[in-house]
C-alpha cells in the first residue's frame, strides 16, 4: 500500500533559524496536504498542493510539491516560538482516495 | 475553534468496560472520520463515513464499533479493549470524502487499564 515518509522525525532550532521538513511518497500523488499539531492539540489544516511543481507561501511558510508529485517540502523562514509543534504531510494517491499521513516532524524552537 | 467537538476529552476504562466516544460537527460537512493517534506512529485512519454510509473500515478490530446516525454525529463504541488501544482518538470531518481538507476535533485521550 501507499506509504508516506517524513524526515526528519525531530528538529530542534534556535529562534530565528530556518526549518525544513521533507515528505516522500512511495507512489505518485494526486494532491498533498500539510497539517500542524501544537503540543496537546489536534491537527490543523495548513494547505493543499495539487499541481506538479506548485509552490505556495503563507507568510514565513513555503510549501512545495515536487515535479513528479511524489515529494513535498515545508520550509519555515526565521522560526518563532509559535512555530513549535508537529508538522504532518498527508497524501492522496488518487482523487477520492484516503489521506495517508506521514509520521510528522516535531519542531522545537529554543528562544 | 468549535467546528468539531468530541466528548469525553479524557477516558480511563478497564478492559471489560463498554464506553462510547462522541463526535459532533457544526460545519455542515457530509464526511466524518475516526483516526487513532499513538505515540511515534502516523495518524491511523479507522473509519470513514460519507453521507451517513460507512465507506471505509481500515481493518479495525471488532472491539471498535462506529455509528453514524446522521451527517453531524459520529460515535465510536468501545468494548473489551486492550491496553495497546490506549491512544488519542481523533474525529475529523470534511465537506465530502476524497479531496477536501479535514477539520479535526480536539480528540479523546483514552487509557485502557
Q: Give me the long-range contacts of B92-95 (CB less than 8 A, separation at least 24).
A: B92/A43, B92/B4, B92/B32, B92/B33, B92/B35, B93/B3, B93/B4, B93/B25, B93/B27, B93/B29, B93/B31, B93/B32, B93/B33, B94/B29, B94/B31, B94/B33, B95/B29, B95/B30, B95/B31
Out of A90, A95, A98, closest to residue B56 by CB: A98
pLDDT digits (tens, 9 = 90+) for A76-99: 999 999 999 999 999 998 766 788
B26 Cα distance to chain centroid: 16
Out of A4, A43, A103, closest to residue B104 by CB: A43
Out of A48, A96, A101, closest to residue B43 by CB: A101
| DSSP string across A34-76 | EEEE-TTS--EEEEEE-STT-EEEETTEEEEE-TTSSEEEEEE
Could you tell me the end-to-end alpha-carbon distance of chain A, in angstroms, rounded to an integer?
A: 41
- Residue of chain A nearest B97, judged by CA positions: A96
Q: What is the mean pLDDT of residues A42-57?
A: 96
Nearest to B10 by CA among B113, B81, B112, B109: B109
**pLDDT value at A53 more than 90:** yes
Chain A residues lying within 8 Å of B1, measured CB to CB: 44
**Mind listing the pLDDT tens digit of every residue in chain B (113 residues)?**
569 999 999 999 999 999 999 999 999 999 999 999 998 788 999 999 999 999 888 889 999 999 999 999 999 999 999 999 999 999 999 998 776 899 999 999 999 99
CA gap A26, B63 in Å, rounded: 31
Instruction: Give the pLDDT confidence score for residue A95 in this predicted structure.
Output: 67
Q: Give every CB contact of residue A20 below 8 A, 6+ residues apart in sequence.
A: A73, A74, A75, A76
Beta bridge partners, A85, equal A107
Instruction: Give the pLDDT confidence score for residue B96 in this predicted structure.
Output: 83
- Residue of chain A nearest B88, judged by CA positions: A42
Contact B10/A at CB under 8 A: no
Chain A, window 1-40: residues with a beta carbon less than 8 angstroms from a chain B beta carbon: 4, 31, 33, 35
CA gap B53, B32 in Å, rounded: 10
CA gap A19, A7 in Å, rounded: 12
Given an 8 Å threshold on Cβ–Cβ distance, is A33 in contact with B104?
no
Chain A residues lying within 8 Å of B40, measured CB to CB: 103
Instruction: Give the pLDDT confidence score for residue B57 in this predicted structure.
Output: 86
Given an 8 Å threshold on Cβ–Cβ distance, is A4 in contact with B42?
yes
Q: Which residue has the cell 518563532?
A: A80
Contact B102/A at CB under 8 A: yes
* Mean pLDDT of all residues belonging to chain A: 95
CA gap A87, A108 in Å, rounded: 11
Instruction: Give the pLDDT confidence score for residue B97 in this predicted structure.
Output: 79
Q: What is the mean pLDDT of residues A44-60?
A: 97
pLDDT digits (tens, 9 = 90+) for B30-59: 999 999 999 878 899 999 999 999 988 888
- Residue of chain A nearest B38, judged by CA positions: A103
Instruction: Give the pLDDT confidence score for residue A93 in this predicted structure.
Output: 85
Amino acid at each position: 500500500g501507499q506509504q508516506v515518509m517524513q524526515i526528519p522525525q525531530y528538529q530542534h532550532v534556535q529562534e530565528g533559524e530556518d526549518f525544513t521538513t521533507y515528505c516522500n511518497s512511495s507512489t505518485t500523488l494526486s494532491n498533498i496536504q500539510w497539517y500542524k499539531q501544537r503540543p496537546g492539540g489536534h491537527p490543523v489544516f495548513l494547505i493543499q498542493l495539487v499541481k506538479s511543481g506548485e509552490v505556495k507561501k503563507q507568510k514565513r511558510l513555503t510549501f512545495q510539491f515536487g515535479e513528479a508529485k511524489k515529494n513535498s517540502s515545508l520550509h519555515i523562514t526565521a522560526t518563532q516560538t509559535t512555530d513549535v509543534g508537529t508538522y504532518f504531510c498527508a497524501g492522496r494517491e488518487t482523487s477520492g482516495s484516503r489521506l495517508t499521513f506521514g509520521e510528522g516532524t516535531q519542531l522545537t524552537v529554543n528562544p | 475553534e468549535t467546528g468539531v467537538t468530541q466528548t469525553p476529552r479524557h477516558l480511563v476504562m478497564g478492559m471489560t468496560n463498554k464506553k462510547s466516544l462522541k463526535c459532533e460537527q457544526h460545519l455542515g460537512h457530509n464526511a466524518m472520520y475516526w483516526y487513532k493517534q499513538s505515540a511515534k506512529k502516523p495518524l491511523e485512519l479507522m473509519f470513514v463515513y460519507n453521507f451517513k454510509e460507512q465507506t471505509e473500515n481500515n481493518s479495525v478490530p471488532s472491539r471498535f464499533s462506529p455509528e453514524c446516525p446522521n451527517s453531524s454525529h459520529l460515535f465510536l463504541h468501545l468494548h473489551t479493549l486492550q491496553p495497546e488501544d490506549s491512544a488519542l482518538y481523533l474525529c475529523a470531518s470534511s465537506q465530502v470524502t476524497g479531496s477536501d481538507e479535514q477539520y479535526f476535533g480536539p480528540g479523546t485521550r483514552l487509557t485502557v487499564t
